[in-house]
Amino acid sequence: METLQNLIFGFQVTLQPINLFYCLIGVLIGTLIGVLPGIGPVGAMSLLLPATFHVSPVGAVIMLSGIYYGAQYGGSTTSILVNIPGEASSVVTCLDGYQMARQGRAGPALGIAAFGSFIAATLAIIGLIFMASPLSNGALGFGPPEYCTLMCVGLVVLTFLAQGSMYKGLMMALFGLLISYIGLDLFNAKPRFTFGAQELQEGVGIVPLVMGLFGISEILLNLEQPLRREIYKAKIKGLFPTFQDWMDAKGAILRGSLVGFFLGILPGGGAVLASFASYAIEKKFSKYPEKFGTGVIEGVAAPEAANNAAAQASFIPLLSLGIPPNVVMALLFGGLLIHGIQPGPLLIQKHPDLFWGVVASMYVGNMMLLALNLPLIGMWVRVLKIPYHLLFPLILLLCIIGVYSVNNSTFDIYLMVLFGVIGYFMQKFDFEPAPLALAYVLGPMLEVSLRQSLIMSEGSFLIFIHRPIPLVSLLLIVGLLIAQIFSYWRKKRHVPGASALGTI
Amino acid sequence: MRRKPFLKPLACTVLFLALGLGGSISSLYGEEWPSKPIQIVVGYSAGGTSDLVTRGLAEPLKKILKVPVVVENKPGGASLIASGYLAKAKPDGYTLGQVAGNSITERPFFMQVPFDPVKAFSFICQVFDYGAGFVVKSDAPWKTFPEFVEAAKKQPGKLSVSMSGPGSYLQVGIAKLERKVPGLKLKVVPFKGGVDAVTALLGGHVDSCFQSQEWRPFVESGKLRLLAIGGRERLKDYPQVPTWLDLGYGVFAEAPGAYAAPAGLPGNIRDKLEQAFKAAMGDPKFKATMKSLSLVEVYKPGKELYEDLMKMYEENKTTIPQLGITEQ
Amino acid sequence: MAWMGKPFAGQMKNSDFFSGLFFSLVSMASCILAVQLGLGKIQKPGSGLIPFGTAALLSLMSIGMVFRSLLTAKKKEEPQKKVFQSTRWKTLTLVIGALTGYGVFLNFLGFTVITFLLMTFLLRVISKQPWWRTLVTSMLIVLGAYFIFVFWLDCPFPKGIVGI
């Protein structure tokens, strides 16, 4: 049981008071950063990177990691409370989480998010310990063709998310794809759809898009109610998840963890994909799919479990291969480099204290986060009790600060307002913002990997069939579509008037 | 009638504004440079090598110049956004920036750049070079670069090479090489970042990779094999690996990492900065950072750097359109 | 129309005509822009090929929506709720204007001042709070924001001509 010995060693490293201290600071800052929309973990980590120069390597990595997964916990808080996703992977949490908050059930939503995240992280850490090596090698096997088909699967799954008409959901997804093309073409540096604006050369940016589409438009919609009307039901129905909630959510948490863990290993977009894949799975296998989107606890538990499992899993490629799977991990990578540590295949051998210390600290950190977030639930619920006409300027300000702090650019503020207006009108006409935002995230990866694959295969589409993973993905897509159409015909046969029903 | 207590908030507001005015007036009095914090803008996000080098410099610079030196990240557009910001800043010696040499020598031929490559900057000095290494997997059949070239010539357009793009010096380098070596045609697969390009090689999805330094840990651990260096000089850590010039191809691909101020910076301030940077580069902690980042330390005074950049710029003006890579 | 409605049965309202129209226009314009970028061949896509495909699909769907709304509207006699019945146009414009104005004047006036003005405006004009409550709340919010973001987190917000 060499692994057990290593683990004990790791805990010895982590439980040193100084490292515990760094862990605590990390998760505290991470939570705060996650709660403040816009200033994501990247911003926080970069603010603290200079500070980590003066700290031991183990301590630095523990702190930076703490910030990373702490932010995941915090990000769900704003998604639930004010419908503003802290990160792309929290978008799906808004769907049901915010509705639960409106119904006075913010407490249970936050609670199940916290507990679900903790359970998912624990499971993911166990997975990390035992499966790091084979999994990361598997992740390497994902090249452009694999990504391309995976994104296609994602797009299909995305449309299942729509609560209303799937047709409109698909239109939103396509629209999201179009918006994602804005910027410089990777292959020949030609500006696309930028209308000459220098600021658009990098594209629209996920933060202005999401803040506008979800945050601003929600406020604009809410302002239509007479000002004294409750946006959030004042009667709070309990602070913690009930037994019934737990019964309902337990499956969602487990399935979400599984999905999140495996997808999180994939560099780039794994967490986002995991969040809505797990949601779609829950919806598909639920006895009451039409209730998803109105405030169903599984709709919060699944994506939260998924994105936390993914956050932990994304350490795997970094620690075992030296490949940072996303911007945040790249920052961590930099932090390690400063201390003269090369993450890579030799990391475990050369710096076992670092590797196992970090693994153990993940567990400790998650425990700290749970202990931190649960009491805060009472506080958050209290915040929601502030009358909306005093609350909304605060929310608007947070949105503005969040969006501005990404690039220090007022252009982003204008973009956010624009998307707020678009989102407002969209929702007036019964279109949902979630598929748009999610397609926006998937779009670039899909297009880039498609074109890369075609370069690799010199124009042949057979590359997608000759390799195992794309082939499986394509078959999966076909299978999903067939299953969808099949379930329609069944519905139609049982209920003759089914064509008048909206939901899928 | 209820007396509306507005005096207190009114007084607060007035006090507020007064403080603010006072604060701004004091900064109007000119003092000898440097008298307030200096900002260095970096076009990449925190934690990246470009950022870490700058932070490594900021520490000793603070000690030398005796004012705080703050690093600000403005990522995006392959550092072009930051360079654009720098070009528009006041040339008072308080706003500096890291400028990649190939923002001047290569990128303007691929895309619109938010500054005039010839006139926008007053260069302080070069501090490092990003380097360019040509790597393959260690179990690949080619043990030397000429072997790879021969294999590629036998199957034109079949062997693939990954790199970060678009419009990068890496892309231009490969294209120039193809032009010089008759019969050499490689499949160029661009990726959105160096890490992705190297990962693709590790996963066996491409045959080779031409990238700045993201391959280092893998060459060190033996997973990848370094076949050649694109720059002008060999790497100290791999003295046995030849450069393209050594191999007689007559091309090189280099990417100087330099620091600059907006054009119009008074000459004496520029000279003071050059001296300060040179001294900072001698700081032992900085040297250690550079070593751990696997970047090539190169010091070149600003004037010389500018001349070299302009020479390459003029050359590329005619060469790059001939390479046929600006349009897909 | 049942055959067309089956897999995509949505609750079609009259409003779909307008939204369909909007999307049709946007997607068709995108198609044109995409073609201008160069389509290339399907084996070697140009910059515009995939955007064109996406936009074309969206156009088809939007045009389909327009037609369906025209055809089904005549059949269904449900009282259609007007989409903008509950919209308060004045509030909407004011809020959007205020947010845009924030962006315009942020660099000129500086973070502290413009935030104070925005909060005051929102609280006074939109929420119709009495003056004293407006000013006190705005001050508190600005001080809090300053403390958290400028002082503690070191966010580089613009200082404006006033210098705060």
Confidence band for A142, pLDDT divided at 50, 70 and 90: confident
Strand-pairing partners, residue B225, are: B136
Residue range A143-159: average pLDDT? 87
The whole-angstrom separation of Cα C23 and Cα A175 is 9
pLDDT at B22: 43
Cα A199 to Cα A303, A414, B167, distances in angstroms: 32, 11, 18
Summarize pLDDT for B171-206 with one digit per residue, the tens: 888 988 988 888 888 988 988 878 888 888 988 899
Listed residue (B34, B3, B79) closest to B268, CA to CA: B34
B269 CB within 8 Å of a chain A CB: no
Percentage above 70 pLDDT, chain A? 91
Listed residue (C15, C9, C110, C24) closest to C60, CA to CA: C24
Q: Which residue has the tokens 């001042």?
A: C113
The whole-angstrom separation of Cα C18 and Cα C83 is 11
State the average pLDDT for chain C: 80
The whole-angstrom separation of Cα B266 and Cα A262 is 57
Query: Is C8 close to A167, i.e. CB distance below 8 A?
Result: yes
Instruction: Tell me if B93 is assigned to some domain.
Output: yes
Chosen for mutation from C61, C153, C154, C159 (greatest number of chain A CBs closer than 10 Å) is C153
pLDDT above 60: residue B1 = no
Please list, in sequence order, all residues whose beta carbon lies within 8 angstroms of the beta carbon of residue B16, skipping any fewer than 6 positions away.
Answer: C112, C116, C164
Summarize pLDDT for C33-90 with one digit per residue, the tens: 998 888 888 877 878 888 999 999 999 999 998 888 888 765 554 555 567 777 788 8
Query: Is C40 close to B328, i.e. CB distance below 8 A?
Result: yes
B72 CB within 8 Å of a chain C CB: yes
- What's the CATH number where B117 sits? 3.40.190.150
Listed residue (A302, A327, A384, A317) closest to A347, CA to CA: A317
Residue range A151-165: average pLDDT? 81
A486 CB within 8 Å of a chain C CB: no
pLDDT at B73: 81
Residue of C nearest to B18 (CA): C162
Question: What are the chain C neighbours of A185 within 8 Å (beta carbons)?
Answer: 37, 47
Instruction: Tell me if B167 is assigned to some domain.
Output: yes
Query: Is A167 close to C155, i.e. CB distance below 8 A?
Result: no
The whole-angstrom separation of Cα A328 and Cα B46 is 10
pLDDT at B52: 85
Summarize pLDDT for B146-157 with one digit per residue, the tens: 999 999 999 888
pLDDT above 70: residue C146 = yes
Structure letter (DSSP) for residue B142: -
pLDDT at A183: 84
Residue range A44-54: average pLDDT? 69
C55 CB within 8 Å of a chain A CB: yes
pLDDT above 80: residue C105 = yes
Residue range C92-114: average pLDDT? 89
Q: β-strands B187-191, A191-192: how paired? A: unpaired
- How close is the nearest chain A Cα to the Cα of B268, in Å? 31
Q: Which residue has the tokens 């699944």?
A: A302
Which A-chain residues 93-112 have CB contacts (< 8 A) with chain B?
Answer: none
Angle in degrees, CA B31, B32, B38, rounded to 5 = 95
Q: Which of C44, C139, C162 sits opposite B24 (nearest CB)?
A: C162
Percentage above 70 pLDDT, chain B? 88
Q: β-strands B187-191, B296-301: how paired? A: unpaired
Please list, in sequence order, all residues whose beta carbon lies within 8 angstroms of the beta carbon of residue C56, skipping any fewer than 6 positions away.
Answer: C27, C31
Residue range A295-315: average pLDDT? 89
pLDDT at B10: 56
The whole-angstrom separation of Cα B123 and Cα A162 is 54
Question: What are the chain C neighbours of A220 within 8 Å (beta carbons)?
Answer: 92, 95-96
Please list, in sequence order, all residues whose beta carbon lies within 8 angstroms of the beta carbon of residue B36, skipping any fewer than 6 positions away.
Answer: B27, B67, B94
Summarize pLDDT for A178-205 with one digit per residue, the tens: 999 998 777 776 778 888 777 777 788 8
Question: What are the chain C neighbours of A498 within 8 Å (beta carbons)?
Answer: 9
Summarize pLDDT for B60-102 with one digit per residue, the tens: 998 898 888 888 887 776 788 889 889 988 888 899 999 998 8
Residue of B nearest to C39 (CA): B328
The whole-angstrom separation of Cα B131 and Cα B235 is 9
B308 CB within 8 Å of a chain C CB: no
Percentage above 90 pLDDT, chain A? 10
The whole-angstrom separation of Cα A11 and Cα A353 is 10
pLDDT at C163: 65
Query: Is A267 close to B81, i.e. CB distance below 8 A?
Result: no
Q: B53 and B137: one domain?
A: no
Residue range A18-40: average pLDDT? 80
The whole-angstrom separation of Cα A393 and Cα A210 is 18
Domain range for residue A49? 2-500
Per the structure, how many domains does chain A have?
A: 1
Higher pLDDT, A153 or A227: A153
Per the structure, how many domains does chain B have?
A: 2
Listed residue (A280, A13, A50, A453) closest to B200, CA to CA: A453
Q: B149 and B118: one domain?
A: no
Question: What are the chain C neighbours of B72 within 8 Å (beta carbons)?
Answer: 156
pLDDT above 70: residue A235 = no
pLDDT above 90: residue A257 = yes
**pTM for the whole thing?**
0.82
The whole-angstrom separation of Cα A69 and Cα A305 is 12
Write down the H helix ranges in A39-105.
Answer: 41-52, 57-82, 91-102
Asked whether the beta carbons of A412 and A406 are under 8 A apart, the reply is yes
Listed residue (A496, A445, A502, A438) closest to A173, CA to CA: A438
Higher pLDDT, B15 or C5: B15
Percentage above 90 pLDDT, chain B? 30
Question: What are the chain C neighbours of B328 within 8 Å (beta carbons)?
Answer: 38, 40, 44, 46-47
State the average pLDDT for chain A: 82
The helix/strand/coil state of B189 is strand
Summarize pLDDT for A374-383 with one digit per residue, the tens: 888 878 777 7
Residue range C136-144: average pLDDT? 88
Higher pLDDT, A429 or C14: A429
pLDDT above 60: residue B5 = no
Domain range for residue B64? 38-129+255-323
CB contact burial A234-259 (16+ within 10 A = b; e otherwise): eebeebbbeeebbebbeebbbbbbbb
Residue of B nearest to C111 (CA): B20
Per the structure block, which two tokens stand in for A178? Answer: 């179009």
Query: Is A186 close to B165, i.e. CB distance below 8 A?
Result: yes
Q: B115 and B174: one domain?
A: no
Residue range A311-334: average pLDDT? 77
pLDDT at B241: 92
Residue range A26-42: average pLDDT? 75
The whole-angstrom separation of Cα A164 and Cα A170 is 11
Q: B168 and B224: one domain?
A: yes
Q: Which of B5, B13, B72 sits opposite C132 (nearest CB)?
A: B5
Asked whether the beta carbons of C127 and A227 are under 8 A apart, the reply is yes
pLDDT at C154: 66
The whole-angstrom separation of Cα B105 and Cα B309 is 6
CB atoms within 10 A of CB A136: 20
Burial class of residue A141 in the structure, from the number of CB atoms within 10 Å of its CB (0-12 exposed, 13-18 middle, 19+ buried): middle
CB atoms within 10 A of CB C107: 16
Q: B125 and B260: one domain?
A: yes
Question: What are the chain B neighbours of A340 within 8 Å (beta carbons)?
Answer: 288, 291-292
The whole-angstrom separation of Cα C157 and Cα A93 is 31
What's the Rg (C-alpha) of chain B?
Answer: 24
The whole-angstrom separation of Cα B76 and Cα B82 is 8
| Lowest-pLDDT choice from A407-411, B34-38, B313-317 | A407-411
C110 CB within 8 Å of a chain B CB: yes
Residue of B nearest to C113 (CA): B17
Write down the H helix ranges in A103-214.
Answer: 106-140, 144-160, 166-180, 206-210
The whole-angstrom separation of Cα A9 and Cα B57 is 37
The whole-angstrom separation of Cα A79 and Cα A36 is 11
**Dihedral in degrees, nearest 10, Cα atoms A440, A441, A442, A444:** 80
CB atoms within 10 A of CB A370: 17
Query: Where is mean pLDDT largest: A402-411, A417-426, A478-487?
Result: A417-426
Counts for chain C of helices (H) and strands (E), in that order: 6, 0
Residue range B264-286: average pLDDT? 90
Residue of C nearest to B26 (CA): C163
Asked whether the beta carbons of C140 and A386 are under 8 A apart, the reply is no
pLDDT at C97: 92
Q: Could you tell me how far CA A85 lies from the centroid of its own chain?
A: 9
* B vs C: CB pairs below 8 A: 45
Per the structure block, which two tokens stand in for A345? Answer: 């295949």
Residue range A106-131: average pLDDT? 88
Residue B265 amino acid letter: L
Q: Which of C112, C132, C159 sits opposite B4 (nearest CB)?
A: C132
Per the structure block, which two tokens stand in for A131? Answer: 């499966």
Asked whether the bond before B34 is cis by omega within 30 degrees of 0, the reply is: yes
Instruction: Tell me if B24 is assigned to some domain.
Output: no
pLDDT at C9: 44
Per the structure block, which two tokens stand in for A161? Answer: 């998310």
Please list, in sequence order, all residues whose beta carbon lies within 8 angstroms of the beta carbon of residue C12, skipping any fewer than 6 positions away.
Answer: C68, C69, C72, C73, C76
Query: Is B9 close to C110, i.e. CB distance below 8 A?
Result: no
Angle in degrees, CA A351, A352, A356, rounded to 5 = 130
Chosen for mutation from C43, C49, C120, C132 (greatest number of chain B CBs closer than 10 Å) is C132
* A vs B: CB pairs below 8 A: 143
Query: Is A223 close to C103, i.e. CB distance below 8 A?
Result: no
Listed residue (A74, A88, A79, A33) closest to A300, CA to CA: A79
Strand-pairing partners, residue B97, are: B41, B260
pLDDT above 60: residue A471 = yes
The helix/strand/coil state of B309 is helix
Query: Is B190 close to A190, i.e. CB distance below 8 A?
Result: no
The whole-angstrom separation of Cα A30 and Cα A19 is 16
A12 CB within 8 Å of a chain B CB: no
